[in-house]
Amino acid sequence: MSSVYIYDICKLKMSNKQIFAKVIPNIKLRTRFDADGREIDVEIREDTEASQCRKKILDLLLSAGYFRVMIKTLSDFDKVIGGMTWCIEACEFDVDVDLLFHENLSIGQKIALTEQVVTVLPQMKCPFILEPHQIQGLDFISIFPVIQWLVSESVKLRNEKAERLKSFAISQFNNHCSSKANEQEKIEKEHLQNLLRKIEDIYAAKRKYKRKQNVEPEEEYSRVRLTLLEYGIKTLSRGITRHADSGKSQDGAKEVFADEIEQHENEIQQLVIENLSLAKEEIYENANLTEEERQEIAKHYENLKQEMLIDAKQLSEQNKIKTLEAMEVALEKRLQRIIQENEVISDDIKKEGDIYENLKHDYDSLVEKMRQLEIQEKEADEAVKNQIKTLILENEKTKQEEIAFKDDCKKIIADLHKKIEEAENLANTPDEEITEYDQILEEEEEKLRVCRLQLAKKNRAVTSLQRQLDNIPDNVELSQYQKRFLELYNQVSAKHKETKQFYALYNTLNDTHLYIGKELELLNSLYDNYNQAMATIPSKEQFLKKIEDIVEGISTTKTKFRKKHDDEKTKRDQLNNELLGLIDLQRKYAALIKQFKIAFERA
């Protein structure tokens, strides 16, 4: 605890030194200055789209039930990140991340929390991508779709949970609590179930025949028909599909299909009769029946056989008629399809004819243009010939001028060579004027060297001054330094507050442990000395007096701590009142500054 107190004293000393006294408080980061140091008015534009998205985000969180967005003292970051963690917790999604949110987090805690939230979103199959710097920088345009998706998911899961709880509550109520109407409905339901069970027993399928073993028709249709006849079901309809040959005529196709149907029905009839006759013999051999029952079964079998023959003939005729009707419908559909194809082909021929007419018209127009161009070419031959003659004459004249120009150039070159030779001859002969000019040239070169040295010294001085000026921070840099120092101070204060809380928790737990130990020692001593103290009356009175002294000491200690608690509570209330007064004073100060700005702008 001593280190914490030392840290508080150092912090008070640093605050008394007024580190940022030279820096203007509440400086605008958008302030700009000209070359003379005067402030320049800069137009500040707000991002309307971002402000609209911010308002939509807060409205969404409020409508979803996150009412902390109504607290005006919270920052936008706390509202947004708090709403996101609240929605993720409401979705009841299993994640290996501790999304613990507190207000006024430090920079490191904010970064860690945003990274955890961004890690959880892909696991929840969020269709939108979000980065941690977008949350920290309050990029409301990018945050809005994620908030919208989280709110919709949380509301959906909340409704599903409400429906599950409602259905569970209704089922529990119906199981444990029932009214007269429900009892009557339950009785009626049981009665209906009994009736349905009786009807199923009455109309259940009963086997009348049985086929011999190892006798199974190969065709599935025959097996189904025989199985149904074993249970007394006489008829079974069957649809037969036929495919018409495109190369044959309609009458030929009808005859072919009629023959196929008749042959197929005869095979089925023969198969059924043979199997049923075998089933009859097996029944006679294996069943223990009386003579009357056997005669009744034989009579029933003959009736079934006659019905099967009649049904087979009727089925054959009906199938022939249906086949012919199906062929007629197929041919009509084919005729309609051919008519439609002819119409499409005629439309294509018409379109091709129109295209041919257009191409023919274009060809005629091109031929006409070619003819006109040939006429123009014949008319323009004379003019072209005259132009060529003129160009030939100009070419001859230009060649003559070129020859004359070359002769002049040769004469000029010869004159220049003569002058060069004369100048060389003069340079070889020494003269006093040349010596004087050389001295003047050396003096001027010396002056130039001195001037260059002075210029280099001046440049070094200017460079050093420029570096010194660069080392002096301007207002923007000072404001940035101030902002960074404030952030560092907030981080240090948050860590200091957290450390104080840990120390307070440790002291509380240590005191609790100490008092619990004392209590256990007292109880153990009472337990050990109880039998001995109760042996005689004087020792009993002394034991009771000692217990009363202990209770009185505990009461005194409790009263002292309660008084200390009341004093701390009174001090807290006083500090709260002072804080409210300072907040009110700050509001008045802000209002006065606003009025002063308005008056200054008007003036």
Reading phi first (left if > 0) and then psi (alpha if -120 to 50, else beta), residue 65 is in: left
Q: What is the pLDDT of residue 280?
A: 44
Between the CA of residue 298 and those of 209, 276, 595, what are the distances in Å?
Answer: 11, 11, 119
Between the CA of residue 165 and those of 159, 212, 431, what are the distances in Å?
Answer: 10, 60, 124
Query: Mean pLDDT, to the nearest integer, of 32-46?
Result: 49
d(CA 452, CA 6): 62
Q: How confident is the model at residue 248 (pLDDT cuts 50, 70, 90)?
A: very low
Q: List Cβ neighbours of 91 (8 Å cut-off, separation of 6 or more).
A: 124, 150, 153, 154, 157
Between the CA of residue 484 and those of 461, 471, 477, 479, 594, what are the distances in Å?
Answer: 34, 19, 10, 9, 27
d(CA 553, CA 281): 113
Span of 20-34, 132-146, 336-350, 357-371 with lowest mean pLDDT: 20-34
- What are φ and ψ of residue 115, in 5° steps? -65, -40
Q: How confident is the model at residue 26 (pLDDT cuts 50, 70, 90)?
A: very low
* Longest alpha-carbon distance in the chain: 174
Q: What is the pLDDT of residue 284?
A: 44
Is 90 exceeded by the pLDDT of residue 509? Answer: yes
Q: List Cβ neighbours of 131 (8 Å cut-off, separation of 6 or more).
A: 118, 142
Over its C-alpha atoms, the chain yields an Rg (Å, rounded) of 57
d(CA 381, CA 384): 5
Q: What is the pLDDT of residue 587?
A: 92
Q: What is the pLDDT of residue 38?
A: 53
Digit-coded pLDDT (tens) for 77-93: 888 888 888 888 888 77
Higher-pLDDT residue of 256, 23: 256
User: For the chain, what is the mean pLDDT?
Assistant: 76
Is residue 210 within 8 Å of 230, Cβ to Cβ?
yes
Q: Where are the beta strands (DSSP E) in 288-352?
A: none
Is 80 exceeded by the pLDDT of residue 259? Answer: no
Q: List Cβ neighbours of 266 (8 Å cut-off, separation of 6 or more).
A: 312
Between the CA of residue 226 and those of 268, 278, 284, 318, 544, what are the distances in Å?
Answer: 10, 12, 18, 21, 105
Is 60 exceeded by the pLDDT of residue 23? Answer: no
Give the Cα-Cα-Cα angle 61, 64, 67 (nearest 5 degrees): 60
d(CA 13, CA 18): 9
Nearest to 230 by CA among 269, 279, 271, 293: 279
Span of 114-128, 310-324, 559-573, 581-595 with lowest mean pLDDT: 310-324
Span of 47-56, 102-111, 413-422 with lowest mean pLDDT: 102-111
3 state DSSP class of 66: coil
Q: List Cβ neighbours of 138 (8 Å cut-off, separation of 6 or more).
A: 54, 76, 77, 80
Higher-pLDDT residue of 390, 521: 521
Query: Mean pLDDT, to the nearest integer, of 269-277?
Result: 55
Is residue 106 within 8 Å of 491, Cβ to Cβ?
yes
Digit-coded pLDDT (tens) for 183-213: 777 788 888 888 888 777 776 776 666 665 6
d(CA 585, CA 592): 10
Q: At how many degrees (to 10) do helices 381-428 and 291-379 cross?
A: 70
Q: What is the pLDDT of residue 275?
A: 60
Residue type, position 419, single letter: K
Is 50 exceeded by the pLDDT of residue 6? Answer: no
Is 50 exceeded by the pLDDT of residue 267? Answer: yes
Q: How confident is the model at residue 260 (pLDDT cuts 50, 70, 90)?
A: low
Higher-pLDDT residue of 120, 272: 120
Give me the residue spans of the domains in the chain. Answer: 48-176, 220-356, 392-425
Is residue 135 within 8 Å of 113, Cβ to Cβ?
no
Q: How confident is the model at residue 373 (pLDDT cuts 50, 70, 90)?
A: confident
Q: What is the pLDDT of residue 331?
A: 82
Is residue 272 within 8 Å of 223, Cβ to Cβ?
no
Query: Mean pLDDT, to the nearest integer, of 247-274?
Result: 56
Span of 41-45, 449-453, 570-574 with lowest mean pLDDT: 41-45
Span of 22-26, 59-63, 367-371, 516-520 with lowest mean pLDDT: 22-26
d(CA 478, CA 248): 102
Q: What is the pLDDT of residue 241?
A: 43
Nearest to 320 by CA among 332, 328, 309, 308: 328
Query: Mean pLDDT, to the nearest integer, of 504-532?
Result: 89
Is 80 exceeded by the pLDDT of residue 120? Answer: yes
Q: How confident is the model at residue 277 (pLDDT cuts 50, 70, 90)?
A: very low
Residue 501's Cα: distance from chain center in Å? 40
Is residue 76 within 8 Å of 138, Cβ to Cβ?
yes
Beta bridge partners of 39: 33
Q: How confident is the model at residue 516 (pLDDT cuts 50, 70, 90)?
A: very high
Is residue 551 within 8 Å of 545, Cβ to Cβ?
no
- What are φ and ψ of residue 39, in 5° steps? -75, 140
Q: How confident is the model at residue 384 (pLDDT cuts 50, 70, 90)?
A: low
Query: Mean pLDDT, to the nearest integer, of 457-466?
Result: 89
Q: List Cβ neighbours of 268 (8 Å cut-off, separation of 6 or more).
A: 219, 221, 222, 225, 312
- What are φ and ψ of residue 33, in 5° steps? -130, 150
Q: What is the pLDDT of residue 582?
A: 93
Digit-coded pLDDT (tens) for 400-433: 888 888 888 888 888 888 888 777 776 655 556 6
d(CA 15, CA 19): 7
